[in-house]
Chains A and B, each alone.
Chain A
Amino acid sequence: MERRSGLILAIVIWLIGAGVVMMGARTWLPPLASEHGAGIDAMINFTMTATGGLILLGHIVLGLFVWKFSRQDKITFRLAGPRMERRWSLAVALLVAAIAEGGVLVIGLPVWAKVYDTASPANALIIEVTTEQFAWNVRYAGPDGVFGRADPKRYSLDNVLGQDPDDPAGRDDIVDLNMIHVEVNRPVLIRLRSKDVLHGFFLPHLRVKQDSVPGMKIDFWFVPNKTGSFELACAELCGLGHYEMRGVLVVMTPDEFRKWKEEKRNG
C-alpha cells in the first residue's frame, strides 16, 4: 500500500519537475525592442536557467526519496550529527545564494544602475507624459526645446495639462493623447507625472516599467532600437478603466519622425 502510494507520488513529482522545465524552456517574453532590455532579459534568462535546473534537481531528488523510502519498513538512517546537518544545509544554501545573490550582483545591479542611476545622454528626446484616469497625455517641447509653463490650477476639460496660454515657450509645444512618437536608436527621456492616482508606465516589449506618482516628477530614459508600434499598458491599479488604459509607442526612422513632427505642427 505504502509502496504503491510512494511510487505514484514519485511519478507525479517527477512529472511536475519535467513539466516546469519544459514550459520554462519556451519563449515567453514579448519580443525585445530596446537597448537596456537585453540586460533585463539576460537577468531573467539566467535566473530561469538556474532555477529551472534546481527545480528539476529538487523534484528528481524528492521523487527519488519518496519512492525509495516508501519501500522500507524499518528506517535505515536515524539522526545526523550537527556537522553533517551544517554541511548539507550550507552546501545547498550557498549554491542557491550564489545563484540569487551572484545573479543580482553580477548581472542584475549593473543593468539596474544603467537604467536608473545614469543620466540620460545629451541627445535624448524629452517627452512629458502626464497620466490621468484613464489616458496618457503626451507633450513635446517643439523646435525651441523648451516646455511651456503648466500649472494644476489651470486644469480643465479643454486644458488637460494646465498649460499657460501666455507663455511664449508653450506655443510650439506638441500635445498628443495616448500616442508617443519617437526616433529609433535615439534615447528617449520620459518625464512622468500624474494628475490623480498612481499609474504604471509599462512598455512590455521595451522592458520599461515606472509608476507615475501624483506630486512627483519622475525622469527615466531608454533607447528603442526597433521600429514599429509597441503597446503601452498601465501597470498600477488606477480605477475602473485600468484595463483599457492603452497607449502606443510608435518608433520611427529619423526621416519619418521629422515628417511626423512637421505634420503635427501644421495640422
Chain B
Amino acid sequence: MAELAHGVHRPRSFIARYVFSTDHKVIGIQYMITAMFMAIAGGALAMIVRMQLAWPGEKWRLLGKMFPDGVEGDIMKPEFYLSLMTMHGTIMIFFVVSLALIGGFGNFLIPLQIGARDMAFPFLNMLSFWTIVPACLIMLGSFAVEGGAAQAGWTAYPPLSAVGAAVPGSQWGQTLWILGMALFIASFTMGGLNFVCTILDQRTKGMSLMRMPITIWTLFISSAIGLLAFPPLLAAAILLLFDRHFGTSFFLPSGLYFGNGLLPNSGGTPLLWQHLFWFLGHPEVYVLILPALGITLDMLPVFSRKPVFGYRLTVYCLYAIAALSMIVWGHHMYVSGMSPYIGEFFAIGTLSITVPSAIIGVNMIASLWGGSLRFPTPMLFTIGTIIMFGTGGFGGIFLGNATSDIQLHDTYFVVGHFHLMIGGVTLMAAFAGVYYWFPKMFGRMMNETLGKLHFWVTMPAFYVLFLAQHFQGLGGMPRRYFDFDKFEYLQKVAAANLHVSLTAFVLGAVQFVFLFNFFWSAFKGARSVKNPWCATTLEWTEASPAPHGNWGEQLPEVHRWPYDYSVPGAAEDFTPQTAPATVAPVTF
C-alpha cells in the first residue's frame, strides 16, 4: 500500500521535484552533479600542485590575487602547497569518487535494477544528500580561514593534525576538516543503511540475490563495508577534536616540544590514530573500487553480446575481498614503529587479496572471449578500467609486501599506485557508467565524437601520468614534498616532473570536454529510445527518463539472470530479465 502511494503521488513544485526531492533518480543525479562540481575544485587543486612541481619558485599573478595569504607576493608558500595536496586527496576520495560511485550510481541504479519503486526510506535518502552539501561547503570554505585549510595530509596523522603550533593549517582548517568528515560519515551512514535495506528488502518478484546485476552486488558490499568501517573513524575524529580543543591527549604523548614550550599532554600515542584511521581507510578504498569493478563487469556483456564469465565466482570473490579488507589495515604502517611480527601477519594477509582480485580480473578479460565486441564510448572506458586495474593491482604487490615497502613507503610509488586504483579504475568506470546510463537519466544520448575524444586523451594521459610516478617512487622520491631542489639524489628522477605536470594539464583540460558533453547533451542531445544499448537489465524496461515511482501500475517480474545475451533460439540477441521462460530458454 505504502509503495503504491509513492507511485501515485508525484510532486508538482520545482523545489519538491528537483531540489528537496525524495526521488532516488533525482537524488542520484544531484549526487553526480555535486561530485562533478567537487571534481572541478579537487582537480584545480591538483593542477596548482602540478604547477608548483613543474616550475618551483615561479611567480603566479592570478593565484597571488586569489589566495593572498597562501601565495604571498605571487610566490607559493609551502604551507599552501600542503593545504592543496591535503584537500585534493580529501575531496577526491570522499567528495568525488564516493559521491559519484556510491551516491550517484548507487541511488540512481539500485531501485531501477532491482525493480523497486524507490529506496526503502526516501526521506532519509534526501537527508543524506542534504548532509553532504554543507560538508562540501565546509571543506571548500576551510581555505578561507586563518592559517588556511588542513595541511596534515588526507590521513590527518597527529601530532601534526592535533597541535595548532605544528603547522598553520592545524589551527582552524583541521577543525573544519574534522567537521566536514563527520558530516560525510553521517551522510554515508544514512545512505548505506538505505542501500543495504533496499537491496535486501525491496527486490521485485523473481529478483533473487543471485539474479542481481554485479553492480548491485558491489554496491551492496561496499555499503556494508562502509557501515562497518566508518564508525571507528567517527570515534577517532571525535577524540581528535577533543585533543585539539579540550586539552585531552588521546593521540599526544608527553614531552612534545613546539616553538619554545613543552606541551602539558601525556599518556596518548600517535599510533592509535593510525590504527583507527586505517581500519577505516583501507576498507574505504574497497568501498570505492568495488562499484567500479561491478560497473565494468556489467558493461562487458552488453558490448560483447554474451554473458559475463564467472558470475558466481565473482560474487564470492567480492565477499572475500570485503572480509579481507577489514583485517589488512596494518600494511599502511609497516615502518611506523608497529611490532614487526604484526607486520608479517599484515603482509601475508594483504597479499592474499591478490587471489580474489586476480579472479575478478580474469573474469573481466575472459568475458570478452568469443564475443562480438562493439566499441561505443562506454565500452572504451570499460577496457580502460581493465588496463588500470591490471597495472594498478600489480603495483599493490610491491606495497603489500612489507619488505619492498620499506623502500617504497611514502614515495611516489604509493602516489602512482593509489591514483591508478582509486583514481583511474574508479573514474574510468564512472565515465563508462555516465555515458552508458545517461539516456536513462535524461532521455538523450551523449555525443559520441566528444565521448571518443574524451576517452582517447583521458586514458593514455592518465596511465602515463601515474605510471611515471611509480618509477619516480622507485628512484626514492618522497611524496608530499613542496620542492625537490634540496636533494642531490632526486635531481634525476625529479627532472621528469615537468613532463608529468604537462600530462596532468592535458588530462585536466580534456575533462571539460566531458563536462560540456554532459550538460549540452542533457538539453540538446539526440533523443534516446527506451533501450538504446539493447541491454537486459530491468532499468531498460522503464521509460527514459524514468518517472517518479518507477514502472507505474505494475512492477516488473523477473524470470532470469541479468546476462541472457545471444540466447540460442531467441528472436533477438538480448533477452530482458522480464522475459518469461516461454519466450526464450532460461540459461543460468
Contacts and interface: CB of A to CB of B under 8 A. Distances in A.
* A and B touching (Cβ–Cβ under 8 A): yes
Interface of A: 2, 5-6, 9, 12-13, 16, 20, 23-24, 26, 28-30, 39-40, 43-44, 47, 51, 54-55, 58-59, 61-62, 65-66, 69-70, 72-80, 82, 85-86, 88-90, 92-97, 99-101, 103-105, 107-109, 111-113, 115-117, 132-133, 152-153, 155-157, 195-198, 200, 202, 204-205, 207-216, 218, 231, 233-244, 246
B531 interface: no
A20 to B, nearest CB: 7
Interface string B331-344: 00001110011011
Given A69-B370, A235-B410, A240-B79, A211 B335 contact: yes
5 shortest interchain CB distances as A-B pairs: A215-B253, A77-B370, A204-B476, A152-B255, A116-B340
A37 to B, nearest CB: 8
Given A76-B370, A89-B362, A89-B363, A108 B337 contact: no
A13 B481 CA distance: 33
Given A195-B256, A207-B407, 20 more contacts: A54-B394, A69-B368, A69-B373, A75-B304, A75-B565, A75-B566, A79-B588, A85-B312, A88-B366, A92-B358, A101-B351, A200-B409, A202-B478, A208-B406, A214-B255, A214-B256, A215-B270, A236-B410, A239-B82, A240-B82
Contacts of A207: 406-407
Contact of A101 (B157, B348, B409, B484): B348
Interface in B373-418: 373-375, 380, 383, 386-387, 390-391, 394-395, 397-398, 400-404, 406-411
Contact of A96 (B354, B373, B408, B476): B354
Interface stretch (B6-14, B112-120, B234-242, B486-494): B486-494
A152 B262 contact: yes
B363 to A, nearest CB: 6
Contacts of A204: 407, 476, 489
B341 A40 contact: no
Interface stretch (B160-168, B426-434, B522-530, B541-549): B160-168
A115 B166 CA distance: 32
B255 A92 contact: no
11 contacts: A5-B375, A28-B471, A47-B397, A62-B390, A77-B371, A85-B363, A88-B309, A117-B340, A117-B341, A233-B478, A235-B409
Given A61-B365, A100-B397, A197 B160 contact: yes
Contacts of B167: 239-240
Contact of A237 (B82, B269, B409): B82
B159 A198 contact: yes
Given A100-B401, A117-B341, A196 B256 contact: yes
B224 interface: no
Nearest to B85: A237
